[in-house]
Structure 1
């Protein structure tokens, strides 16, 4: 029996692994940060024997409520991921699984590898409608990639979509894969119509360093990027610095920042109702987008989500509020679950790759509905 996490996005610390019924583990903190919750490791084991793996420090993680009703993910081929029995007692998370093969991977959510990220970018640039731009380098020396889809023109709206500011929220990049694939489909009527009147600026992974390091929430030096939008710096948050600088060059008519929520088992959006300049136009744009997305897919809902900010009380260091205020545009944070969509549960797979991708596709339909109102 052996446990290994020395690979892209791997994260686990082995405390004890002498007997299959008493494996004790801990999740490592993000570098220079107290955040932790993401885990991803490989178990070499005796097939057909139950293994009981207890994460001892789960109760002190960033979002302990995220463990309630949570089921860990497992995969033999790193392609198909399924849920396995998982229990949380308020202090420890226990995963019970009887492997059917000699080795199996476990993860907090389905990983989106840096190699796949590079494939996504390189494949997208093959389209005649897509231009690949290098925004800059991260603190670990990785590329910060921007995809520009559509031909810029004075009459066209500028739509920005960013994902994975928090690297452990890998569902955000699966969403982007579905979004980009449909947008670049020249036989899709929604995409063709959108590109007549809109240009898209897409950052599929805002935090490649944190993604590779196996972080939950921060970049290479422990910075939470989604609290840096008031005053980003090249020393702490170059990822935000470069994106915001480019936004100031292009302008922004709509902004969507894609995330995952540890605790809430729903897909929902959070708006900018607390910014100083929020007005009836903002509300009309938000209502139009939400109504269209509700029509496009039953995976989306508006009953559950974050509490609304009081007028003038928004946190202006967060991406969607900072961008909404600076550019006076429609601006949303979109959240997906780590667990499942409680409105449409799937006990085998929970919230999955295919559902992330499909939601990304469906968001384009909602964008088509709101597009004529953006200016």
Structure 2
């Protein structure tokens, strides 16, 4: 029996693997941080008996509610990920699985590899509408990449999307893949119309260091990027520092920050009602955007989500709050589940990379319906 996580985004420690029915594991913490929840590893064994894999430190992980009614994902080919029987007793997360083939991967959610990230960027740049820009480097020396799609012109709104500030929230980059592919489709009328009326700046992965290292929430030195927006530094949070500088250069008329939520089994958005400059225009823009999403996809809902901040009490270190206040623009955090969308469940896959991809495409339609009201 072999258990390995020595690959891109891998994360697991083997405590004991004496037999198929006694595999004891632990999730490694993010570097210089106490955050952990993301796991991704490979099991190789020729036995076809039931394997019992126990993650023994799940009870001290970052988001205990994330394990309630959670099912891990597995894959034989690293393309199709399916849910496997998983239980949590308050301390141990136990996966029971009988392999059909010699080697199988397990993960917290369908991984989005750094290699796929590079393919996404470089395929996008082949479009005449797209420029691949590098605005800086991370602590580990990876590029901080921005896709500029469309041409700037006087009066055109500037729309920013950022994703995967928290690297373990891989659904965010699956979302971006769907969004980018549709925006660059020359046969898509919504995309063509939008590019005649707006310019887009897209960051598919804000945190490549954490993604490669197999982190849940932080960058290479244990910094939560989504608490750095008010005062980032090149030393601790260059990812936010350089993206923020680019935003200040281009201006922002709309910002969506794409995330995943461990506990809530729904797709929803979180607005910036608590920022000091929040007003009636801001409220109407938020409501218009949500109404369109509700009309075009049953994957979205607006009844379950985070509590709204009290007026003037928003945390301005959070990306969408800082952007909304700084640019007085429509700014949302978009959340997707690690589990399933309980309003439209899929027993085989739960919420998945493919569904995140499609949701990204749907969001383009919602932007189409509000773009003329952004300025």
With normalisation by structure 1, the TM-score equals: 1.00
For 1:144 and 1:74, the matched residues in 2 are separated by 30
Q: 2:270 aligned with 1:305, yes or no?
A: no
Equivalents in 2 of 1:45, 1:181: separation in Å?
38
CA distance in 2, matches of 1:60, 1:294: 36
Q: Residue 160 of structure 2: SS of its match in structure 1?
A: strand
- Report matched runs for 1:74-85 at 5 Å: 74-85=74-85
Partner of 2:92: 92
**What is the correspondence of 1:353-368 to structure 2 with a 5 Å cutoff?**
353-368=353-368
Q: Which runs of 4+ in 1 moved over 3 A?
A: none
Matched, 1:25 2:25: yes
Q: Distance in 2 between matches of 1:91 and 1:64?
A: 9
Gaps of 5+ in 2: none
Deviations 1:166-190 (A, max 9, x none): 0000000000000000000011010
**Which digits, 9 at most, give the CA deviation of each residue in 1:75-114, with x for residues without a partner?**
0000010000000011110000000000100000000000
User: 1:159-208: CA deviations, max 9, x gaps?
Assistant: 00000000000000000000000000011010011111100000000000
Does structure 2 conserve the Cα–Cα contact (< 8 Å) formed by 1:32 and 1:221?
yes
CA distance in 2, matches of 1:45, 1:330: 51
State the shift of 1:268 in Å.
Answer: 0.2
**2:19 aligned counterpart, secondary structure:** coil
C-alpha contact (below 8 Å) 1:4/1:43 kept by paired residues = yes
Corresponding residue SS for 2:333 = strand
Write the distance in 2 (CA, Å) between the matches of 1:51 and 1:318. 42
Matches within 5 A, 1:128-143: 128-143=128-143
In 2, the alpha carbon distance for the partners of 1:182 and 1:67 equals 33
Superposed CA deviations along residues 283-320 of structure 1, whole A, max 9, x for unmatched, are 00000000011111000000100000000111110000
Which residue of the partner structure matches residue 279 of structure 2?
A: 279
Q: 1:130-155 deviations in whole A, cap 9, x for unaligned?
A: 01101110000000110000011112
What TM-score do the two structures reach when normalised by structure 2? 1.00
Residue in structure 2 matched with residue 121 of structure 1 by the alignment? 121
Cα shift readout 1:203-244 (whole Å, capped 9, x = no counterpart):
000000000000000000000000000000001000000000
Which residue does 1:209 correspond to in 2?
Answer: 209
- The 2-side partners of 1:296 and 1:243 are apart by 31
Q: For 1:160, what is the secondary structure of its paired residue?
A: strand
Conserved? CA contact 1:47–1:100, under 8 Å:
no
In structure 2, the residue matched to 1:12 is 12
SS in 2 for 1:43: strand
What is the correspondence of 1:181-220 to structure 2 with a 5 Å cutoff? 181-220=181-220
Shift of 1:120: 0.3
Alignment pair present for 1:65 and 2:46:
no
Q: Give the equivalent residue in structure 2 for 1:329.
A: 329
- 1:18 aligned counterpart, secondary structure: strand
